[in-house]
């Protein structure tokens, strides 16, 4: 940041402050006395020499004194008190003059010391505004390997620019058939765009394999959908005898089976991809392609059972589904979960470790000053806020799927009538009306918004609440739309979660000195007219590529919107990998683990069983996370065998083995000290088990 470059600049700032806070008569008297203290006593001690003699300084002398002050660095203020006292002693200044002029210099210095640009020990003065030292002791996050794979990942997908026009047209037709509501070529409803995109990516991966790693390699311009799913038409079959049809189908089945086995062998051996979940995803994509290609050959969904190639795919899917279930029962994964889950002690949970050792340090890193007290750059502050809020949304409330936060929107215009009862300076971040939101083919809203309101579901919130309106998520068909009030968590330093949300979205203003200060003219009345600058512009620091919805009716309001969590250096929506990367890097910095957004769902589920939530509480948690209790228990719960056995072992010890051979320390105390200790023993009995153990350890009795 900028600092006053000279002694004279600090004087000008003080003069400006005096004139702004005092009457003209008071200001004139204060500044006249300050001038006498500076020009007659202090500056001569610092080296200034007057050209004229006499008690009263000439205009030329005053101008020369000011020029001298401009040559002195601002840090001269640090030695003003000592210099002034030396001047008073040399000049034998009377006590009355010392009180008057010394008092004005002291007023000047006290005001300067209270400014953010003061040249003293800044870190000590602004301790509550300084970030803790950034922690990077664990090294780069990529150094922690989660799997046994060696070397760099192999990227073999057939890119769009490598795709022949004919194949690209077929892939476009496949995608449109999957997603468009009124399009033929399929049975049933369209799939979600994310599902269709996953299918396409898997098909492109297979084409990349055929082009680069299959034997023999197939040139790019010869790649066709038939190479994955051989097409046999009804016309071809009619020209053949029954035995010839069987031989033809056998040949096509063998071709598809060979492709599948070779491709999965390539994945297993070269890519070291051993998870049956990976195979399941590939097979599902191939099955979708097969049904697309054979749609014209069947009358209804059941007709697919007559296609031998689809029967083959179903057989593979059955086998792989069994493998997935076995992995799921045994909590088996390709990645090493010990490198994702925090290490915990007996008194902790993984969730408490994340909150205390990751999220809280990230919150402190949102402070505006570095460890030495200097103001940080606006981009850096906005980045810190974004990283913290991503973790906060996943950690302060049950973790939902990361896609909901990646696609989270916020309105950037407010063409609505001001709500009744809202204060003139009250914050209002609107939720766009339904007719301005993104909709599915059947009119269902399919976007997610963050908004601020004072009335939610009939309840009045005088201070207002931030709300997540979630209309697009994986299990919406089961659980429906969700409207989630974000709890305004309070922190020990007096801040709250809403402070961080608003600083990130709207930026923050500081009256910190800089040479390019300007008068505040925005929405906060308490700051209007005050001179300063924007400390950070919040998410606008990232130059987001925001969007707008053009109304069909020209007289209608124009709504603009943007994504809440855009990529910091590009201003675009985050991909799944880049969003998760923020989590992995932060968790590795603080706890040496690769904890990603999806891991947070496991951490929440595990916490639920560790603390023994009731069935009703489990159902509530599962709903808040967007799935069922069965999914919570079967898929996400990661309690260790020791934790699972602990409850029944405690019951066994309590009810079957109360009379152990080891003496009870409380009884021993009572025996030794008699009835006088009864009251003390009773007090000890009321302590928790952990408190008792700690007390008895201190007494050296256990």
Highest mean pLDDT among 57-66, 201-210, 439-448: 201-210
d(CA 167, CA 165): 6
Nearest Cα to 363, choosing from 506, 514, 500, 196?
A: 500
Return the H-helix or E-strand segment holding 559.
strand 559-563
- Read off the pTM: 0.70
pLDDT tops 60 at residue 22: yes
Phi, psi of 196 (to 5 degrees): -60, -40
For residue 174 the two structure tokens come to 């496949």
DSSP 125-167: HTGGGBPPPPP-TT--GGGS-SSS--SS----PPPGGGS-HHH
Asked if 143 contacts 594 with a C-beta cutoff of 8 angstroms, the reply is no
d(CA 131, CA 380): 12
Of residues 516 and 79, which shows the higher confidence score?
79
For residue 488 the two structure tokens come to 């305004």
For residue 373 the two structure tokens come to 């007290």
Nearest Cα to 626, choosing from 461, 422, 444, 477?
A: 477
DSSP 573: B
DSSP 359: I
pLDDT value of residue 373: 75
Torsion 68-70-76-81 (CA) sign = positive
For residue 337 the two structure tokens come to 């979960």
Of residues 9 and 550, which shows the higher confidence score?
9
Provide the pairing of β-strand 518-519 with 531-536.
antiparallel
pLDDT value of residue 69: 92
Cβ neighbors of 552 (< 8 A, separation 6 or more) are none
Give the angle 671-674-676 at the CA atoms, nearest 5°.
Answer: 140
Phi, psi of 46 (to 5 degrees): -90, 0
Q: Looking at 35-49, 148-162, 237-251, which range is the least confident one?
A: 148-162
pLDDT tops 60 at residue 645: no
Distance of CA 442 to the CA centre of its chain: 32
Per-residue pLDDT band for 701 (boundaries 50, 70, 90) equals very low
Of residues 350 and 533, which shows the higher confidence score?
350
Taking the CB of residue 454, how many other CB atoms lie within 10 A of it?
19
Asked if 599 contacts 638 with a C-beta cutoff of 8 angstroms, the reply is no
Asked if 487 contacts 396 with a C-beta cutoff of 8 angstroms, the reply is yes
- Rg of the chain (C-alpha set): 36
d(CA 601, CA 205): 29
DSSP 331: T
Of residues 154 and 513, which shows the higher confidence score?
154
Q: What are 159-202's pLDDT values in tens digits?
A: 999 999 999 999 999 999 999 988 888 888 888 888 899 999 99
pLDDT value of residue 341: 86
The residue ranges of DSSP E strands in 340-480, in sequence order, are 408-411, 448-456, 459-470
For residue 274 the two structure tokens come to 């051993």
d(CA 602, CA 449): 25
Per-residue pLDDT band for 148 (boundaries 50, 70, 90) equals low
- Which sequence spans correspond to the domains of the chain? 7-120, 160-329, 338-635, 662-698
Mean pLDDT within 342-362 = 91
Beta-bridge partners for 484: 468
Cβ neighbors of 633 (< 8 A, separation 6 or more) are 605, 609
pLDDT value of residue 149: 64
pLDDT tops 90 at residue 286: yes
DSSP 182: T
Mean pLDDT within 345-363 = 91
Instruction: Give me the count of residues in the chain.
Output: 702
Q: CA separation (Å) from 219 to 14, 25, 165, 252?
A: 77, 90, 14, 21
Q: Which residue has the tokens 């996050």?
A: 141
d(CA 437, CA 444): 10
Cβ neighbors of 463 (< 8 A, separation 6 or more) are none
Asked if 311 contacts 305 with a C-beta cutoff of 8 angstroms, the reply is yes
Tell me if the bond preceding 216 is cis, omega within 30° of 0.
yes
pLDDT value of residue 196: 92
Phi, psi of 249 (to 5 degrees): -65, -40
Q: What are 517-566's pLDDT values in tens digits?
A: 777 777 666 777 777 888 899 999 999 988 765 555 665 667 889 999 99
Highest mean pLDDT among 224-228, 555-559, 624-628: 224-228
Of residues 208 and 653, which shows the higher confidence score?
208
Q: What are 561-602's pLDDT values in tens digits?
A: 999 999 988 888 888 888 999 999 999 999 999 899 999 998
pLDDT value of residue 308: 93
DSSP 521: -
Q: What are 469-501's pLDDT values in tens digits?
A: 999 888 888 888 899 999 999 999 889 999 999
Per-residue pLDDT band for 629 (boundaries 50, 70, 90) equals confident
pLDDT tops 70 at residue 452: yes
Q: Looking at 299-308, 346-355, 403-412, 688-697, which range is the least confident one?
A: 688-697
d(CA 608, CA 397): 13
pLDDT tops 60 at residue 675: no
Average pLDDT, whole number, for the chain? 84
Nearest Cα to 68, choosing from 159, 150, 6?
A: 6
Per-residue pLDDT band for 384 (boundaries 50, 70, 90) equals very high
Per-residue pLDDT band for 504 (boundaries 50, 70, 90) equals very high
Mean pLDDT within 243-268 = 93
Nearest Cα to 88, choosing from 50, 48, 135, 37?
A: 37
Burial 666-689 (b: 16+ CB within 10 A, else e): beebbeeeeeeeeeeeeebeeeee
Q: Looking at 154-158, 259-263, 269-273, 659-663, which range is the least confident one?
A: 659-663
d(CA 500, CA 136): 24
Q: What are 31-84's pLDDT values in tens digits?
A: 999 999 999 999 999 999 888 777 788 888 889 999 999 999 888 888 898 899
Return the H-helix or E-strand segment holding 201.
helix 193-212
End-to-end alpha carbon distance in the chain:
59
pLDDT tops 60 at residue 26: yes
The arrangement of strands across the sheet holding 508-510 comes to 508-510, 531-536, 518-519
Mean pLDDT within 642-668 = 58
Cβ neighbors of 102 (< 8 A, separation 6 or more) are 37, 84, 88
d(CA 146, CA 338): 9
pLDDT tops 90 at residue 348: no
Nearest Cα to 108, choosing from 24, 1, 8?
A: 8
């Amino acid at each position: 940041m900028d600092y006053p470059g000279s002694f004279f600049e600090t004087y000008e700032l003080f003069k400006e402050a005096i004139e702004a806070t005092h009457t003209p008569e008071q200001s004139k008297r204060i500044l006249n006395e300050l001038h006498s203290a500076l020009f007659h006593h202090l500056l001569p001690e610092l080296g200034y020499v007057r050209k004229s003699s006499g008690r009263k300084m000439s205009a030329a002398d005053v101008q020369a004194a000011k020029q001298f002050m401009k040559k002195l660095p601002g840090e001269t203020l640090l030695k003003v008190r000592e210099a002034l006292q030396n001047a008073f002693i040399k000049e034998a200044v009377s006590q009355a003059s010392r009180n008057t002029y010394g008092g004005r210099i002291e007023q000047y210095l006290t005001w300067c010391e209270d400014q953010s640009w003061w040249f003293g020990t800044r870190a000590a003065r602004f301790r509550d505004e300084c970030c803790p030292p950034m922690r990077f002791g664990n090294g780069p996050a990529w150094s922690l390997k989660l799997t046994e794979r060696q070397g760099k990942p192999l990227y073999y997908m057939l890119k769009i620019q490598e795709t022949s026009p004919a194949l690209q047209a077929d892939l476009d037709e496949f995608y449109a058939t999957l997603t468009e509501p009124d399009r033929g070529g399929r049975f049933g409803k369209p799939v979600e765009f994310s599902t269709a995109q996953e299918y396409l990516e898997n098909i492109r991966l297979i084409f990349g394999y055929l082009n680069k790693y299959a034997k023999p390699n197939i040139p790019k311009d010869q790649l066709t959908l038939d190479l994955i799913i051989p097409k046999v038409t009804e016309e071809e079959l009619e020209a053949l005898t029954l035995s010839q049809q069987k031989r033809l189908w056998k040949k096509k089945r063998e071709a598809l089976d060979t492709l599948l086995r070779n491709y999965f062998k390539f994945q297993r051996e070269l890519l070291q991809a051993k998870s049956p979940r990976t195979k399941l995803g590939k097979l599902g994509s191939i099955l979708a392609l097969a049904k697309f290609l054979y749609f014209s050959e069947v009358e209804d969904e059941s007709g697919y059972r007559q296609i031998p190639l689809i029967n083959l795919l179903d057989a593979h899917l059955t086998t792989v589904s069994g493998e997935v279930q076995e992995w799921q029962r045994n909590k088996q994964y390709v990645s090493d979960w010990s490198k994702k889950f925090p290490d915990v002690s007996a008194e902790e949970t993984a969730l408490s470790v994340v909150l205390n050792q990751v999220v809280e340090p990230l919150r402190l890193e949102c402070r505006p000053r570095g460890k030495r007290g200097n103001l940080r750059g606006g981009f850096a502050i906005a980045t810190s806020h974004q990283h913290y809020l991503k973790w906060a949304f996943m950690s302060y409330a049950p973790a939902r799927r990361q896609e909901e936060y990646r696609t989270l929107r916020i309105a950037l215009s407010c063409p609505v009538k001001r709500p009744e009862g809202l204060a003139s300076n009250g914050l209002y971040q609107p939720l766009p009306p339904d007719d301005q939101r993104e909709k599915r083919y059947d009119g269902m809203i399919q976007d997610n918004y963050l908004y601020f309101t004072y009335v939610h579901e009939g309840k009045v919130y005088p201070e207002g609440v931030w709300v997540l309106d979630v209309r697009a998520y994986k299990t919406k068909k089961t659980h429906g739309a969700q409207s989630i009030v974000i709890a305004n968590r309070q922190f020990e330093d007096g801040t709250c979660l809403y402070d961080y949300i608003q600083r990130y979205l709207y930026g923050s203003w500081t009256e910190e000195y800089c040479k390019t200060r300007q008068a505040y003219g925005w929405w906060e009345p308490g700051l209007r007219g005050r001179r300063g600058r924007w400390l950070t512009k919040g998410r606008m620091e990232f130059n987001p590529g925001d969007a707008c919805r053009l109304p069909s009716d020209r007289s209608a309001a124009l709504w603009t919107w943007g994504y809440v969590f855009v990529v910091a250096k590009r201003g675009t929506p985050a991909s799944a990998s880049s969003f998760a990367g923020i989590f992995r890097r932060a968790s590795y910095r603080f706890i040496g683990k690769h904890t990603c957004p999806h891991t947070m769902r496991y951490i929440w589920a595990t916490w639920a069983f560790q603390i023994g939530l009731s069935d009703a509480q489990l159902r509530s948690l599962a709903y808040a996370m967007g799935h069922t209790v069965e999914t919570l228990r079967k898929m996400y719960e990661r309690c260790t065998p020791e934790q699972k056995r602990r409850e029944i072992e405690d019951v066994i010890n309590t009810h079957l083995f109360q009379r152990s051979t080891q003496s009870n320390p409380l009884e021993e105390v009572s025996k030794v000290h008699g009835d006088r200790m009864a009251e003390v023993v009773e007090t000890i009995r009321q302590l928790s088990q952990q408190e008792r153990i700690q007390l008895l350890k201190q007494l050296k009795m256990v």
